[in-house]
Amino acid sequence: MSRFILITPNSDFERLVRLAVTGLHGTLHVFQADYLPEGPADILRQLQGEPPEVLILGPGLPVEDSLKLASVVDLQYPEISVVLAATATPETVLQAMRAGVRDFLDPGAASDAIRVMLERASLAAAGRRRGLAPQTSEHADHGAGGKVIAVMSPKGGVGKTTVATNLAVGLGKISPMGVVIVDLDLQFGDVASGLMLEPEFTITDAVLGAASQDSMVLKTYLTVHPAGIYALCAPRSPIEMDRITAGHVSHLLEQLRQEFRYIVVDTAPGLGEHVLATLEQATDAVWICGMDVPSIRGMRTGFQILEELNLVPEQRHIVLNMADRRAGLTLKDVEATVGAPVDVVLPRSKNLPFSTNKGVPVLQDGSRDPASKGLRQLVERFQPEWEARPHKQLHRRAVFQ
């Protein structure tokens, strides 16, 4: 089926939409015309399969006619989200809201911004479809599911959330809209601020209620980030942590594995019940260690406990953050204490914590930072071709610069 329908005579806008759809599930059907049909049936009869999710009325069409068509679509096909590409004025926005237009799109928007808006409109369409036909299912079987990457640290203050958000953004470039980051630091999670998000829903909403029963409903509870990833943020209040059990976490990750290629989980420091539940589902664990003795010893103790519990994921990646020769320790000291080789070294950087405070990860804004190289190396470890490398390259020693 054609998931997206575009009507426009503007070839430049068509090109941007085609770029935006690249990487998204489903296809784009374009009608190059400067006029609109009498009704949506005239459009749909030219398509095969189920009705589309999103109808984009592009620039070059009479706005008045676009609003009339949108109102008919909203009445006859409420499961289709209509996006209007036009200059937004207060009067036009009000008329569009009354006509049932889902969103406004700037005709000069970049393809990345268009992609985010289309995915947001698709989520709205999925939610409407779910309410209209709760027995239908849109997603095919995804087999074994995606990778669950637990980002962990024995103690706080070592840059775990910074690494997790950059990892998610980096993976989003490999698999647009195929990555979700989950904030499982249920008391003091910072993923929302680290990505400059204001989520409408949190993990509390996702694990309690309708979303826990249906993966399509769950997707409507996620927040879309401009980098082409999803986020499920921590509760608004620390007291909500008591409402979320380890069983909720396990079920949530099982759901997400069937929908996403990569699930990055920013866990709470330590080895609480929610962290252990995550490790039961995890295919990979990224351990973040600071350049200080308590952090290093804590990691060694954590490894010992997890080995006793048989909860060590198949793939383990050790990241030494804030590395600095002036700290009085060497890379060999760290590896000797931890009892395992360090895979990625992130040198001490002023820009890295600043980027987290700003809400724009360094892998998103493309800034040249000493730690960017190490973060990209970490992202590379999760690409399919990485696992095909010789074993000696899988665990090559880090070079402390």
pTM: 0.68
- Under the banding of pLDDT at 50, 70 and 90, the label for residue 10 is very high
166 and 82 share a domain?
Answer: no
Confirm whether 358 is domain-assigned: yes
Residues 193 and 106 in one domain: no
Q: Where are the beta strands (DSSP E) in 88-238?
A: 103-105, 147-152, 179-184, 223-225, 229-232
Q: Are residues 336 and 246 in the same domain?
A: yes
Q: Does 84 map to a domain?
A: yes
In a domain, 293, yes or no: yes
The better pLDDT of the pair 123, 188 is held by: 188
Looking from the CA of 257 toward its CB, the CA atoms found within 13 Å total: 17
Q: Could you tell me which of 344, 354, 370, 232 has the C-alpha nearest to residue 287? A: 344
Single residue among 77, 100, 132 that ends a domain in this structure: 132
β-pair type (262-267, 344-347): unpaired
Average pLDDT for 187-203: 90
Domain final residue, candidates 99, 132, 165: 132
Residue 263 within any structural domain of the chain: yes
Q: Are residues 79 and 224 in the same domain?
A: no
Q: What digits encode the pLDDT tens for the residues 239-279?
A: 889 899 999 999 999 999 988 899 999 999 988 899 999 99
Asked, for residue 138, whether it belongs to a domain, the answer is no
Instruction: Kindly tell me if the per-residue pLDDT of 395 is higher than 90.
Output: no
Residue type, 236: R
One-letter identity of residue 247: G
85: Cα within 13 Å, side-chain hemisphere? 27
Phi-psi domain of 270 (left: phi exceeds 0; alpha: psi -120 through 50; beta: other): left
Asked if 36 and 152 sit in the same domain, the reply is no
**Which 8-state DSSP code applies to residue 78?**
T
Within a domain: residue 399? no
Query: Taking the CA of residue 282 as centre, how many other CA atoms within 13 Å lie in the half-sphere pointing to its CB?
Result: 28
Which of 132, 159, 188 lies at the terminal end of a domain, its last residue?
Answer: 132
- Residue 31 has a pLDDT of 92
In the predicted structure, residue 286 carries a pLDDT above the cut 90: yes
pLDDT at 194: 92
The reply to whether 183 falls in a domain is: yes
Sheet containing 229-232: give its strands across: 223-225, 229-232, 179-184, 262-267, 147-152, 284-289, 315-323, 344-347
Statement to judge: residues 155 and 257 lie in one domain: yes
Within this chain, do residues 211 and 337 fall inside the same structural domain, yes or no?
yes
Please state, for a pLDDT cut of 90, what percent of the chain lies above it. 31
**22, pLDDT greater than 50:** yes
On the question of pLDDT at 89 being above 80, the answer is no
- Same domain, residue pair 91 and 196: no
201: domain CATH number is 3.40.50.300
In a domain, 360, yes or no: yes
Mean pLDDT, residues 332-356 taken together: 84
**pLDDT range class, residue 77, cuts 50, 70, 90:** confident
Range of the domain at 89: 2-132
Confidence band of 26 (pLDDT split at 50, 70, 90): confident
Comparing CA positions, the residue from 102, 107, 33, 100 lying closest to residue 68 is: 100
Higher pLDDT: 365 or 300? It is 300
Q: Are residues 120 and 164 in the same domain?
A: no
Tell me if 223 sits within 8 A of 200, measured CB to CB: yes
190 and 119 assigned to the same domain:
no
Residue 225 in 3-state DSSP? strand
Total number of domains constituting the chain: 2
**331-338 and 293-309 helices cross at what angle (nearest 10)?**
30
The enclosing domain of 7 has a CATH number of 3.40.50.2300
| 121 and 12 fall within a common domain | yes
In percent, the amount of the chain with pLDDT more than 70 equals: 90
- SS3 of 342, please? coil
Poorest-pLDDT segment among 108-112, 156-160, 166-170, 324-328: 324-328
Same structural domain, 97 and 194: no
Q: Considering only CA atoms, which of 227, 262, 164, 233 is closest in space to residue 365?
A: 227
Q: Which band of pLDDT confidence, cut at 50, 70 and 90, is reported for residue 59?
A: very high
Residue 40: phi, psi to the nearest 5? -65, -25
